[in-house]
Amino acid sequence: MIISGLTKRFGKKVIFDNFNLEIGNKGIIALSGESGRGKTTLLRMIAGLDKKYSGKIDLGNIKKISYVFQESRLLESCTALENVSLVLKNTEEGKKTAEMWLKKLGLEDDIHTYPDEMSGGMKQRVSIARAFAYDGDLLLLDEALNGIDAERCISIMDMIIEYAKEKPCIVVTHNEEHLKYLGCKVIKI
């Protein structure tokens, strides 16, 4: 993926001015910097959710993007299993995949739990399970580990590291310990 000459403004405020970045076919890149510097905005532009910019974002071979937002973005009327299954084909195989990822994220006892019965960390783990189940060609994680206990964070970071052996991953985090654990290239924005 190649980002070239990216310029983004909110009114008169310039967020990116001729920003360039090249991301390989695998590995982890972390975006770091103060709040309001454009990290989330950059992820949204890469994902095609924000198209109001100049310059070019060439995704190359990336066709599917898995995205974990800062907030869980779960459907309140759906169980954990249903929320993950939504991104998969509605088949027995899809449900098995969803269930497998929920179990990997320590939610085996909460498969049939609705979001209003979950803690913030549980909701975030359902969102992460959904992203892994979707199996995109690129994984975007925007402060995805916020609200998750340290032990589970390590387990999830191990999953991210494993994913990144085959595909690219962009992580937004302020947590220096997470950056060290992931052992990734850090781009300061």
Percentage of the chain modeled with pLDDT above 70 = 100
What is the per-residue pLDDT across 7-39, written as a single tens digit (0 to 9) for each? Answer: 999 999 999 999 999 999 999 999 998 888 899
Residue type for position 66: S
Q: With 80 as the cut, is the pLDDT of residue 142 above it?
A: yes
Mean pLDDT of the chain: 95
Q: With 80 as the cut, is the pLDDT of residue 140 above it?
A: yes
What is the per-residue pLDDT across 159-180, written as a single tens digit (0 to 9) for each? Answer: 999 999 999 999 999 899 999 9
Q: With 90 as the cut, is the pLDDT of residue 145 above it?
A: yes
Q: How does residue 148 score in pLDDT terms, banded at 50, 70 and 90?
A: very high
Q: Which of 46, 63, 57 is nearest to 141 (CA)?
A: 46
| Phi/psi of residue 6, nearest 5 degrees | -70, 125
Helix-then-strand count for the chain, H and E:
6, 8
CA 88, CA 83: separation in Å to the nearest integer?
10
pTM of the entire predicted model: 0.95
- Give the Cβ contact number of residue 157 at 10 Å: 18
Q: With 90 as the cut, is the pLDDT of residue 147 above it?
A: no
Give me the mean pLDDT over the 58-63 stretch: 96
